[in-house]
Amino acid sequence: MKPIRLMSGFFTVGVWTLASRVLGFVRDAMILAFLGTGPLYEAYVVAFRLPNMFRRFFAEGAFNMAFVPMFSKKLESDDAPREFAEQAFSGLASVLIVLTLVAQVAMPWLVYGLASGFAGQDQFDLSVEFGRIAFPYILFISLAALLSGVLNATGRFAAAAAAPVLLNVILVTAMAIAAMMGKDVARALIWMIPLAGVAQLALVWFAAKRAGFPLYLRRPRWTPEMARLVAIAVPAALAGGVVQVNLLVGQQVASYFDKAVGWLYAADRLYQLPLGVVGIAIGVVLLPDLSRRLAADDHHGARNAFSRAGEVSLALTIPSAVALIVIPVPLVSVLFERGQLVHSDSLAIAQAVAIYGLGLPSFVLQKILQPLFFAREDTRSPFRYALVAMVVNAFVAVGLTPVLGWLAPAVATTLAGWIMVALLVRGGRAFGDVARFDARFWGRIWRIVAAALIMGVVLFAAQYALADVLRTSGVRYLALAALVAIGIVVYFGAGQVIGAFRLAEFKQAVRRGSR
Protein backbone atom coordinates (compact mmCIF):
# COMPACT_ATOMS: atom_id res chain seq x y z
CA MET A 1 0.00 0.00 0.00
CA LYS A 2 1.52 3.27 -1.10
CA PRO A 3 1.73 6.14 1.46
CA ILE A 4 -1.04 8.13 -0.23
CA ARG A 5 -3.16 4.96 -0.30
CA LEU A 6 -2.53 4.59 3.43
CA MET A 7 -3.69 8.17 4.02
CA SER A 8 -6.72 7.82 1.76
CA GLY A 9 -7.68 4.66 3.67
CA PHE A 10 -7.30 6.59 6.90
CA PHE A 11 -9.57 9.37 5.65
CA THR A 12 -12.13 6.84 4.39
CA VAL A 13 -12.33 5.23 7.82
CA GLY A 14 -12.16 8.62 9.52
CA VAL A 15 -15.05 10.12 7.56
CA TRP A 16 -17.33 7.16 8.23
CA THR A 17 -16.26 7.10 11.88
CA LEU A 18 -16.99 10.82 12.11
CA ALA A 19 -20.48 10.20 10.72
CA SER A 20 -20.98 7.44 13.28
CA ARG A 21 -19.75 9.59 16.16
CA VAL A 22 -21.90 12.56 15.14
CA LEU A 23 -24.93 10.26 15.08
CA GLY A 24 -23.66 8.88 18.37
CA PHE A 25 -23.84 12.39 19.81
CA VAL A 26 -27.41 12.65 18.60
CA ARG A 27 -28.13 9.28 20.19
CA ASP A 28 -26.49 10.20 23.51
CA ALA A 29 -28.14 13.63 23.58
CA MET A 30 -31.54 12.01 23.04
CA ILE A 31 -30.88 9.38 25.73
CA LEU A 32 -29.83 12.04 28.24
CA ALA A 33 -32.83 14.19 27.34
CA PHE A 34 -35.28 11.28 27.76
CA LEU A 35 -33.64 9.50 30.72
CA GLY A 36 -31.55 12.17 32.47
CA THR A 37 -28.63 10.84 34.52
CA GLY A 38 -30.78 8.84 36.97
CA PRO A 39 -31.36 5.08 37.47
CA LEU A 40 -32.61 4.33 33.94
CA TYR A 41 -29.61 5.99 32.33
CA GLU A 42 -27.11 4.35 34.65
CA ALA A 43 -28.72 0.95 34.01
CA TYR A 44 -28.45 1.56 30.26
CA VAL A 45 -24.76 2.49 30.63
CA VAL A 46 -23.94 -0.73 32.49
CA ALA A 47 -26.06 -2.93 30.21
CA PHE A 48 -24.60 -1.50 27.00
CA ARG A 49 -21.07 -1.54 28.38
CA LEU A 50 -21.24 -5.30 29.12
CA PRO A 51 -21.35 -6.57 25.51
CA ASN A 52 -19.03 -3.78 24.38
CA MET A 53 -16.53 -4.75 27.07
CA PHE A 54 -16.50 -8.39 25.97
CA ARG A 55 -16.44 -7.34 22.32
CA ARG A 56 -13.19 -5.47 22.84
CA PHE A 57 -11.89 -8.42 24.83
CA PHE A 58 -12.72 -11.07 22.23
CA ALA A 59 -13.06 -9.44 18.84
CA GLU A 60 -11.66 -6.00 18.16
CA GLY A 61 -8.97 -6.30 20.79
CA ALA A 62 -7.75 -9.85 21.12
CA PHE A 63 -8.97 -11.85 18.18
CA ASN A 64 -8.51 -9.25 15.46
CA MET A 65 -5.07 -8.21 16.68
CA ALA A 66 -4.03 -11.82 16.13
CA PHE A 67 -6.22 -12.56 13.10
CA VAL A 68 -5.49 -9.53 10.87
CA PRO A 69 -1.67 -9.96 10.67
CA MET A 70 -1.99 -13.71 9.98
CA PHE A 71 -4.72 -13.19 7.40
CA SER A 72 -2.79 -10.32 5.76
CA LYS A 73 0.27 -12.53 5.35
CA LYS A 74 -1.85 -15.29 3.83
CA LEU A 75 -3.23 -12.76 1.39
CA GLU A 76 0.30 -11.66 0.51
CA SER A 77 1.40 -15.25 -0.16
CA ASP A 78 -1.97 -16.48 -1.49
CA ASP A 79 -1.94 -19.29 1.09
CA ALA A 80 -5.67 -20.27 1.34
CA PRO A 81 -6.78 -17.05 3.10
CA ARG A 82 -10.51 -17.79 2.79
CA GLU A 83 -10.24 -21.21 4.43
CA PHE A 84 -8.28 -19.69 7.30
CA ALA A 85 -10.82 -16.88 7.73
CA GLU A 86 -13.73 -19.32 7.70
CA GLN A 87 -12.12 -21.49 10.38
CA ALA A 88 -11.55 -18.41 12.56
CA PHE A 89 -15.13 -17.22 11.91
CA SER A 90 -16.61 -20.55 13.02
CA GLY A 91 -14.37 -20.88 16.05
CA LEU A 92 -15.18 -17.36 17.27
CA ALA A 93 -18.92 -17.94 16.77
CA SER A 94 -18.81 -21.14 18.87
CA VAL A 95 -17.08 -19.41 21.77
CA LEU A 96 -19.44 -16.44 21.66
CA ILE A 97 -22.61 -18.56 21.64
CA VAL A 98 -21.45 -20.33 24.81
CA LEU A 99 -20.45 -17.02 26.41
CA THR A 100 -23.85 -15.48 25.65
CA LEU A 101 -25.72 -18.40 27.23
CA VAL A 102 -23.53 -18.31 30.35
CA ALA A 103 -23.98 -14.53 30.67
CA GLN A 104 -27.77 -14.85 30.74
CA VAL A 105 -27.51 -16.98 33.88
CA ALA A 106 -24.68 -15.02 35.49
CA MET A 107 -26.03 -11.54 34.73
CA PRO A 108 -26.61 -10.47 38.39
CA TRP A 109 -22.98 -11.31 39.21
CA LEU A 110 -21.74 -9.52 36.10
CA VAL A 111 -23.65 -6.38 37.04
CA TYR A 112 -22.34 -6.59 40.60
CA GLY A 113 -18.82 -6.91 39.22
CA LEU A 114 -19.29 -3.78 37.11
CA ALA A 115 -21.16 -1.57 39.59
CA SER A 116 -21.37 -2.99 43.10
CA GLY A 117 -22.47 0.43 44.33
CA PHE A 118 -25.84 -0.23 42.67
CA ALA A 119 -26.61 -3.09 45.08
CA GLY A 120 -29.91 -2.51 46.88
CA GLN A 121 -30.93 0.29 44.51
CA ASP A 122 -33.30 0.46 41.54
CA GLN A 123 -30.34 0.60 39.16
CA PHE A 124 -29.28 -2.95 40.03
CA ASP A 125 -32.43 -4.79 38.95
CA LEU A 126 -32.78 -2.56 35.90
CA SER A 127 -29.16 -3.26 34.94
CA VAL A 128 -29.75 -7.02 35.17
CA GLU A 129 -32.89 -6.79 33.04
CA PHE A 130 -31.28 -4.53 30.45
CA GLY A 131 -28.08 -6.57 30.45
CA ARG A 132 -29.85 -9.80 29.53
CA ILE A 133 -31.57 -8.09 26.60
CA ALA A 134 -28.47 -6.32 25.29
CA PHE A 135 -25.83 -9.02 25.79
CA PRO A 136 -26.50 -11.05 22.58
CA TYR A 137 -25.19 -7.99 20.73
CA ILE A 138 -21.70 -9.35 21.42
CA LEU A 139 -22.28 -12.37 19.16
CA PHE A 140 -23.29 -10.33 16.12
CA ILE A 141 -20.88 -7.43 16.54
CA SER A 142 -17.88 -9.66 17.23
CA LEU A 143 -18.48 -11.68 14.07
CA ALA A 144 -18.95 -8.37 12.25
CA ALA A 145 -15.58 -7.23 13.65
CA LEU A 146 -13.85 -10.30 12.25
CA LEU A 147 -15.43 -9.70 8.84
CA SER A 148 -14.32 -6.09 9.09
CA GLY A 149 -10.79 -7.35 9.64
CA VAL A 150 -11.07 -9.35 6.41
CA LEU A 151 -12.24 -6.26 4.53
CA ASN A 152 -9.55 -4.03 6.03
CA ALA A 153 -6.81 -6.52 5.16
CA THR A 154 -7.94 -6.45 1.53
CA GLY A 155 -7.86 -2.63 1.48
CA ARG A 156 -11.65 -2.23 1.55
CA PHE A 157 -12.39 0.10 4.46
CA ALA A 158 -15.70 1.76 3.65
CA ALA A 159 -18.26 -0.95 4.56
CA ALA A 160 -16.53 -1.89 7.81
CA ALA A 161 -16.24 1.77 8.82
CA ALA A 162 -19.87 2.44 7.87
CA ALA A 163 -21.30 -0.43 9.92
CA PRO A 164 -21.36 1.49 13.26
CA VAL A 165 -23.54 4.12 11.59
CA LEU A 166 -26.32 1.51 11.43
CA LEU A 167 -26.28 1.09 15.20
CA ASN A 168 -26.85 4.78 15.80
CA VAL A 169 -29.47 5.11 13.05
CA ILE A 170 -31.48 2.22 14.48
CA LEU A 171 -31.24 3.42 18.10
CA VAL A 172 -32.10 7.04 17.26
CA THR A 173 -35.06 5.92 15.14
CA ALA A 174 -36.33 3.57 17.85
CA MET A 175 -36.22 6.28 20.52
CA ALA A 176 -37.96 8.81 18.28
CA ILE A 177 -40.77 6.38 17.42
CA ALA A 178 -41.18 5.25 21.04
CA ALA A 179 -41.37 8.87 22.23
CA MET A 180 -43.93 9.82 19.58
CA MET A 181 -46.09 6.79 20.45
CA GLY A 182 -45.80 7.39 24.19
CA LYS A 183 -43.98 4.09 24.77
CA ASP A 184 -41.15 3.21 27.13
CA VAL A 185 -38.10 4.85 25.51
CA ALA A 186 -35.57 3.03 27.70
CA ARG A 187 -36.83 -0.44 26.81
CA ALA A 188 -37.22 0.43 23.14
CA LEU A 189 -33.58 1.53 23.21
CA ILE A 190 -32.33 -1.67 24.86
CA TRP A 191 -34.29 -4.04 22.62
CA MET A 192 -32.88 -2.38 19.50
CA ILE A 193 -29.25 -3.01 20.50
CA PRO A 194 -29.13 -6.73 19.49
CA LEU A 195 -31.20 -5.96 16.38
CA ALA A 196 -28.62 -3.35 15.38
CA GLY A 197 -25.94 -6.02 15.79
CA VAL A 198 -27.74 -8.25 13.29
CA ALA A 199 -27.91 -5.35 10.81
CA GLN A 200 -24.20 -4.58 11.19
CA LEU A 201 -23.27 -8.24 10.68
CA ALA A 202 -25.40 -8.45 7.54
CA LEU A 203 -23.80 -5.31 6.08
CA VAL A 204 -20.19 -6.46 6.43
CA TRP A 205 -21.00 -10.08 5.47
CA PHE A 206 -22.38 -8.99 2.10
CA ALA A 207 -19.43 -6.61 1.65
CA ALA A 208 -17.03 -9.49 2.36
CA LYS A 209 -18.94 -11.65 -0.12
CA ARG A 210 -18.47 -9.00 -2.81
CA ALA A 211 -14.76 -8.94 -1.95
CA GLY A 212 -14.55 -12.69 -2.58
CA PHE A 213 -14.75 -13.84 1.03
CA PRO A 214 -18.29 -15.13 1.75
CA LEU A 215 -17.63 -16.75 5.12
CA TYR A 216 -19.96 -19.53 6.29
CA LEU A 217 -20.26 -21.33 9.59
CA ARG A 218 -18.71 -24.78 9.58
CA ARG A 219 -17.90 -27.31 12.26
CA PRO A 220 -14.95 -25.83 14.20
CA ARG A 221 -11.70 -27.81 13.78
CA TRP A 222 -8.56 -27.58 15.88
CA THR A 223 -5.76 -27.17 13.34
CA PRO A 224 -2.14 -26.02 13.73
CA GLU A 225 -3.16 -22.64 12.28
CA MET A 226 -5.97 -22.27 14.80
CA ALA A 227 -3.59 -23.28 17.57
CA ARG A 228 -1.17 -20.55 16.48
CA LEU A 229 -4.02 -18.03 16.21
CA VAL A 230 -5.13 -18.82 19.76
CA ALA A 231 -1.54 -18.71 21.05
CA ILE A 232 -1.17 -15.20 19.65
CA ALA A 233 -4.68 -14.13 20.66
CA VAL A 234 -4.51 -15.20 24.33
CA PRO A 235 -1.93 -12.55 25.38
CA ALA A 236 -3.90 -9.98 23.38
CA ALA A 237 -7.06 -11.15 25.16
CA LEU A 238 -5.32 -10.77 28.49
CA ALA A 239 -4.20 -7.29 27.46
CA GLY A 240 -7.78 -6.54 26.49
CA GLY A 241 -8.82 -7.88 29.86
CA VAL A 242 -6.43 -5.47 31.56
CA VAL A 243 -8.02 -2.56 29.70
CA GLN A 244 -11.44 -3.74 30.82
CA VAL A 245 -10.21 -4.04 34.41
CA ASN A 246 -9.24 -0.37 34.18
CA LEU A 247 -12.74 0.40 32.99
CA LEU A 248 -14.22 -1.74 35.75
CA VAL A 249 -12.18 -0.01 38.47
CA GLY A 250 -13.29 3.41 37.25
CA GLN A 251 -16.96 2.42 37.08
CA GLN A 252 -16.81 0.77 40.51
CA VAL A 253 -15.45 3.98 42.03
CA ALA A 254 -18.03 6.09 40.19
CA SER A 255 -20.93 3.84 41.25
CA TYR A 256 -20.50 5.06 44.84
CA PHE A 257 -21.14 8.68 43.81
CA ASP A 258 -24.57 9.92 42.79
CA LYS A 259 -24.83 10.35 38.99
CA ALA A 260 -21.07 9.83 38.53
CA VAL A 261 -21.43 6.73 36.31
CA GLY A 262 -23.51 8.78 33.88
CA TRP A 263 -21.18 11.81 34.07
CA LEU A 264 -18.08 9.77 33.26
CA TYR A 265 -19.85 7.92 30.47
CA ALA A 266 -21.01 11.17 28.84
CA ALA A 267 -17.47 12.59 29.10
CA ASP A 268 -16.11 9.39 27.60
CA ARG A 269 -18.46 9.74 24.63
CA LEU A 270 -17.17 13.27 23.94
CA TYR A 271 -13.46 12.50 23.89
CA GLN A 272 -14.14 9.28 21.95
CA LEU A 273 -15.09 11.43 18.94
CA PRO A 274 -11.53 12.50 18.03
CA LEU A 275 -10.16 9.19 19.32
CA GLY A 276 -12.45 7.26 17.00
CA VAL A 277 -12.04 9.50 13.97
CA VAL A 278 -8.25 9.70 14.27
CA GLY A 279 -6.75 7.03 16.53
CA ILE A 280 -8.98 4.08 15.77
CA ALA A 281 -9.11 4.94 12.06
CA ILE A 282 -5.33 5.09 11.70
CA GLY A 283 -4.93 1.88 13.70
CA VAL A 284 -7.43 0.03 11.53
CA VAL A 285 -5.56 1.01 8.36
CA LEU A 286 -2.02 0.77 9.73
CA LEU A 287 -2.10 -2.79 11.09
CA PRO A 288 -2.81 -4.65 7.81
CA ASP A 289 -0.49 -2.29 5.92
CA LEU A 290 2.45 -2.91 8.28
CA SER A 291 1.74 -6.66 8.29
CA ARG A 292 1.90 -6.91 4.53
CA ARG A 293 4.96 -4.65 4.23
CA LEU A 294 6.87 -6.67 6.82
CA ALA A 295 5.84 -9.91 5.11
CA ALA A 296 7.31 -8.45 1.88
CA ASP A 297 10.46 -7.32 3.77
CA ASP A 298 9.71 -3.67 2.91
CA HIS A 299 11.19 -2.05 6.03
CA HIS A 300 11.68 1.37 4.42
CA GLY A 301 8.02 1.46 3.38
CA ALA A 302 6.94 0.28 6.84
CA ARG A 303 8.85 3.11 8.54
CA ASN A 304 7.42 5.66 6.14
CA ALA A 305 3.87 4.39 6.75
CA PHE A 306 4.44 4.44 10.52
CA SER A 307 5.83 8.00 10.45
CA ARG A 308 3.10 9.38 8.20
CA ALA A 309 0.44 7.73 10.38
CA GLY A 310 1.94 9.38 13.46
CA GLU A 311 2.26 12.74 11.74
CA VAL A 312 -1.27 13.02 10.39
CA SER A 313 -2.93 11.55 13.47
CA LEU A 314 -1.18 13.93 15.88
CA ALA A 315 -1.83 16.85 13.53
CA LEU A 316 -5.54 16.17 14.10
CA THR A 317 -5.40 14.92 17.69
CA ILE A 318 -3.34 17.59 19.45
CA PRO A 319 -5.68 20.48 18.51
CA SER A 320 -8.65 18.31 19.51
CA ALA A 321 -7.05 17.73 22.91
CA VAL A 322 -6.41 21.45 23.36
CA ALA A 323 -10.06 22.21 22.52
CA LEU A 324 -11.32 19.64 25.05
CA ILE A 325 -9.14 21.24 27.72
CA VAL A 326 -9.91 24.88 26.88
CA ILE A 327 -13.64 24.88 26.01
CA PRO A 328 -15.21 21.80 27.69
CA VAL A 329 -18.17 23.69 29.19
CA PRO A 330 -19.49 25.11 25.87
CA LEU A 331 -19.01 21.72 24.21
CA VAL A 332 -20.89 19.79 26.90
CA SER A 333 -23.64 22.31 27.59
CA VAL A 334 -24.56 22.85 23.94
CA LEU A 335 -24.32 19.20 22.91
CA PHE A 336 -25.96 17.55 25.93
CA GLU A 337 -27.83 20.07 28.09
CA ARG A 338 -31.53 19.64 27.45
CA GLY A 339 -34.49 17.76 28.92
CA GLN A 340 -33.47 15.94 32.11
CA LEU A 341 -29.80 17.01 31.86
CA VAL A 342 -29.31 20.28 33.76
CA HIS A 343 -26.44 22.80 33.90
CA SER A 344 -24.93 21.30 37.06
CA ASP A 345 -24.59 18.01 35.16
CA SER A 346 -22.86 19.86 32.30
CA LEU A 347 -20.33 21.44 34.66
CA ALA A 348 -19.52 18.04 36.19
CA ILE A 349 -19.15 16.33 32.81
CA ALA A 350 -16.96 19.19 31.55
CA GLN A 351 -14.44 18.58 34.35
CA ALA A 352 -13.99 14.98 33.25
CA VAL A 353 -13.80 16.02 29.58
CA ALA A 354 -10.87 18.37 30.31
CA ILE A 355 -9.02 15.60 32.17
CA TYR A 356 -9.59 13.12 29.35
CA GLY A 357 -8.37 15.79 26.93
CA LEU A 358 -4.96 15.69 28.63
CA GLY A 359 -4.80 11.97 27.88
CA LEU A 360 -6.20 12.04 24.34
CA PRO A 361 -2.82 12.16 22.53
CA SER A 362 -1.66 9.14 24.54
CA PHE A 363 -4.76 7.13 23.60
CA VAL A 364 -4.11 7.90 19.90
CA LEU A 365 -0.39 7.14 20.13
CA GLN A 366 -1.23 3.72 21.53
CA LYS A 367 -3.25 2.99 18.37
CA ILE A 368 -0.17 3.87 16.29
CA LEU A 369 2.45 2.07 18.39
CA GLN A 370 0.62 -1.20 19.06
CA PRO A 371 0.48 -2.27 15.37
CA LEU A 372 4.31 -2.39 15.44
CA PHE A 373 4.01 -5.32 17.81
CA PHE A 374 0.85 -6.94 16.43
CA ALA A 375 2.18 -6.89 12.85
CA ARG A 376 5.02 -9.12 14.10
CA GLU A 377 2.50 -11.34 15.92
CA ASP A 378 3.94 -10.11 19.25
CA THR A 379 1.00 -9.75 21.61
CA ARG A 380 2.90 -10.64 24.78
CA SER A 381 4.82 -7.37 25.09
CA PRO A 382 1.70 -5.14 24.92
CA PHE A 383 0.12 -7.41 27.53
CA ARG A 384 3.01 -6.86 29.94
CA TYR A 385 2.85 -3.11 29.39
CA ALA A 386 -0.91 -3.14 29.91
CA LEU A 387 -0.42 -4.89 33.26
CA VAL A 388 1.81 -2.05 34.44
CA ALA A 389 -0.73 0.51 33.23
CA MET A 390 -3.48 -1.41 35.04
CA VAL A 391 -1.63 -1.23 38.35
CA VAL A 392 -1.10 2.51 37.90
CA ASN A 393 -4.76 3.01 36.99
CA ALA A 394 -6.09 1.04 39.96
CA PHE A 395 -3.72 2.67 42.44
CA VAL A 396 -4.56 6.21 41.29
CA ALA A 397 -8.31 5.64 40.85
CA VAL A 398 -8.76 4.15 44.31
CA GLY A 399 -5.99 6.03 46.11
CA LEU A 400 -7.04 9.50 44.98
CA THR A 401 -10.77 8.99 45.54
CA PRO A 402 -10.67 10.56 49.05
CA VAL A 403 -9.06 13.65 47.49
CA LEU A 404 -10.63 13.92 44.02
CA GLY A 405 -13.88 12.02 44.53
CA TRP A 406 -15.56 10.75 41.36
CA LEU A 407 -12.95 12.47 39.14
CA ALA A 408 -10.20 10.10 40.34
CA PRO A 409 -10.98 7.48 37.62
CA ALA A 410 -10.59 10.11 34.87
CA VAL A 411 -7.20 11.18 36.25
CA ALA A 412 -6.17 7.52 36.53
CA THR A 413 -7.18 6.77 32.94
CA THR A 414 -5.16 9.71 31.62
CA LEU A 415 -2.04 8.89 33.64
CA ALA A 416 -2.19 5.20 32.76
CA GLY A 417 -2.50 6.14 29.08
CA TRP A 418 0.78 8.03 29.11
CA ILE A 419 2.51 5.25 31.06
CA MET A 420 1.38 2.80 28.37
CA VAL A 421 2.81 5.02 25.61
CA ALA A 422 6.17 5.28 27.38
CA LEU A 423 6.37 1.49 27.68
CA LEU A 424 5.40 0.92 24.04
CA VAL A 425 8.05 3.41 22.86
CA ARG A 426 10.68 1.73 24.98
CA GLY A 427 9.72 -1.77 23.83
CA GLY A 428 9.58 -0.69 20.19
CA ARG A 429 13.28 0.15 20.18
CA ALA A 430 14.00 -3.54 19.62
CA PHE A 431 12.44 -3.26 16.15
CA GLY A 432 15.07 -0.83 14.91
CA ASP A 433 14.41 2.09 12.57
CA VAL A 434 10.96 0.78 11.59
CA ALA A 435 9.69 1.78 15.05
CA ARG A 436 11.29 5.23 14.98
CA PHE A 437 9.59 8.30 13.55
CA ASP A 438 11.62 9.80 10.69
CA ALA A 439 13.20 13.26 10.39
CA ARG A 440 10.17 14.75 8.69
CA PHE A 441 7.96 13.78 11.67
CA TRP A 442 10.31 15.37 14.21
CA GLY A 443 10.67 18.45 12.05
CA ARG A 444 6.91 19.01 12.08
CA ILE A 445 5.67 17.85 15.48
CA TRP A 446 6.82 20.89 17.46
CA ARG A 447 5.16 23.16 14.87
CA ILE A 448 1.93 21.17 15.25
CA VAL A 449 2.05 21.76 19.02
CA ALA A 450 2.72 25.48 18.50
CA ALA A 451 -0.22 25.85 16.09
CA ALA A 452 -2.50 24.05 18.56
CA LEU A 453 -1.44 26.33 21.42
CA ILE A 454 -2.12 29.42 19.29
CA MET A 455 -5.58 27.99 18.58
CA GLY A 456 -6.10 27.34 22.30
CA VAL A 457 -5.40 30.95 23.23
CA VAL A 458 -7.85 32.21 20.60
CA LEU A 459 -10.55 29.72 21.68
CA PHE A 460 -10.12 30.72 25.33
CA ALA A 461 -10.81 34.36 24.44
CA ALA A 462 -13.58 33.53 21.95
CA GLN A 463 -15.64 31.48 24.42
CA TYR A 464 -15.93 34.53 26.68
CA ALA A 465 -16.82 36.78 23.77
CA LEU A 466 -19.60 34.34 22.81
CA ALA A 467 -20.60 33.46 26.39
CA ASP A 468 -24.08 35.02 26.29
CA VAL A 469 -24.91 33.56 22.89
CA LEU A 470 -23.71 30.09 23.96
CA ARG A 471 -26.34 30.17 26.71
CA THR A 472 -29.17 31.43 24.50
CA SER A 473 -31.62 28.75 23.40
CA GLY A 474 -32.07 28.49 19.66
CA VAL A 475 -28.80 30.13 18.63
CA ARG A 476 -26.36 28.33 20.91
CA TYR A 477 -25.78 25.68 18.24
CA LEU A 478 -24.73 28.36 15.78
CA ALA A 479 -22.51 29.91 18.45
CA LEU A 480 -20.77 26.58 19.09
CA ALA A 481 -20.38 26.03 15.35
CA ALA A 482 -18.80 29.48 15.11
CA LEU A 483 -16.47 28.68 18.00
CA VAL A 484 -15.39 25.43 16.34
CA ALA A 485 -14.97 27.18 12.99
CA ILE A 486 -12.73 29.80 14.61
CA GLY A 487 -10.57 27.06 16.07
CA ILE A 488 -10.28 25.24 12.74
CA VAL A 489 -9.38 28.37 10.79
CA VAL A 490 -6.81 29.53 13.36
CA TYR A 491 -5.19 26.11 13.73
CA PHE A 492 -4.89 25.25 10.05
CA GLY A 493 -3.93 28.82 9.17
CA ALA A 494 -1.21 28.94 11.80
CA GLY A 495 -0.05 25.44 10.91
CA GLN A 496 0.30 26.33 7.24
CA VAL A 497 2.22 29.51 8.01
CA ILE A 498 4.72 27.96 10.45
CA GLY A 499 5.19 24.77 8.42
CA ALA A 500 3.40 22.28 10.66
CA PHE A 501 1.82 20.72 7.56
CA ARG A 502 0.77 21.52 4.04
CA LEU A 503 -2.96 21.76 3.44
CA ALA A 504 -2.42 20.35 -0.04
CA GLU A 505 -1.45 17.02 1.54
CA PHE A 506 -4.79 16.74 3.33
CA LYS A 507 -6.69 17.76 0.20
CA GLN A 508 -4.87 15.17 -1.91
CA ALA A 509 -5.58 12.38 0.59
CA VAL A 510 -9.24 13.36 0.81
CA ARG A 511 -9.57 13.32 -2.99
CA ARG A 512 -7.98 9.88 -3.19
CA GLY A 513 -10.19 8.61 -0.36
CA SER A 514 -13.36 9.89 -2.07
CA ARG A 515 -12.45 7.95 -5.19
pLDDT of residue 256: 78
pLDDT of residue 5: 55
- The HSE-up count of residue 147 (CA atoms within 13 Å, CB side) is 32
| Measured CA distances, 298 to 60, 70, 290, 293 (Å) | 26, 17, 9, 5
pLDDT of residue 284: 64
pLDDT of residue 247: 67
Per residue in 377-405, is it b (16+ CB within 10 Å) or e — as a string?
A: bbbbbbbebbbebbebbbebbbebbeebe
pLDDT tens per residue across span 112-141:
877 777 777 777 888 888 889 989 998 898
Confidence of residue 63 (pLDDT cuts 50, 70, 90): low
Q: Is the pLDDT of residue 458 over 90?
A: yes
Q: Report how far residue 396's alpha carbon sits from residue 412's, in angstroms, rounded to the nearest whole number.
A: 5
Q: Report how far residue 220's alpha carbon sits from residue 320's, in angstroms, rounded to the nearest whole number.
A: 45
pLDDT of residue 53: 73
What would the mean pLDDT of 34-39 be, rounded to a whole number? 75
Please tell me which of 254-263, 298-307, 477-486 the model is most confident about, judged by mean pLDDT: 477-486
pLDDT tens per residue across span 323-355:
999 999 898 888 877 766 678 888 888 999 999
pLDDT tens per residue across span 366-400:
888 887 887 777 778 888 888 898 889 888 988 88
pLDDT of residue 374: 75
CB-neighbour burial class of residue 145 (10 A; exposed 0-12, middle 13-18, buried 19+): buried
What would the mean pLDDT of 32-47 be, rounded to a whole number? 79
Q: Is the pLDDT of residue 92 over 70?
A: yes
Q: Which residue has the higher pLDDT, 200 or 435?
A: 200
Give the other-Cβ count within 10 Å of 55's Cβ. 23
What would the mean pLDDT of 55-81 be, rounded to a whole number? 69
Say what percent of the chain tops pLDDT 70: 86
Q: Is the pLDDT of residue 9 over 70?
A: no
pLDDT tens per residue across span 163-215:
888 888 998 899 889 888 888 888 888 899 999 999 999 998 998 888 888 88
Q: Is the pLDDT of residue 86 over 50?
A: yes
pLDDT of residue 446: 93
pLDDT of residue 514: 46
Q: Is the pLDDT of residue 2 over 50?
A: no
List, in sequence order, every beta strand (DSSP E) within 334-465.
Answer: none
pLDDT of residue 1: 45
What would the mean pLDDT of 83-101 be, rounded to a whole number? 87
**By C-alpha distance, which of 312, 458, 286, 313 is closest to 374?**
286
pLDDT of residue 220: 79
Q: Report how far residue 302's alpha carbon sits from residue 426's, in angstroms, rounded to the nearest whole number.
A: 19
- The HSE-up count of residue 153 (CA atoms within 13 Å, CB side) is 29
Average pLDDT over the chain, rounded to an integer: 81
pLDDT of residue 34: 80
pLDDT of residue 4: 40
Q: Report how far residue 351's alpha carbon sits from residue 348's, in angstroms, rounded to the nearest whole number.
A: 5
pLDDT tens per residue across span 263-274:
887 888 788 777
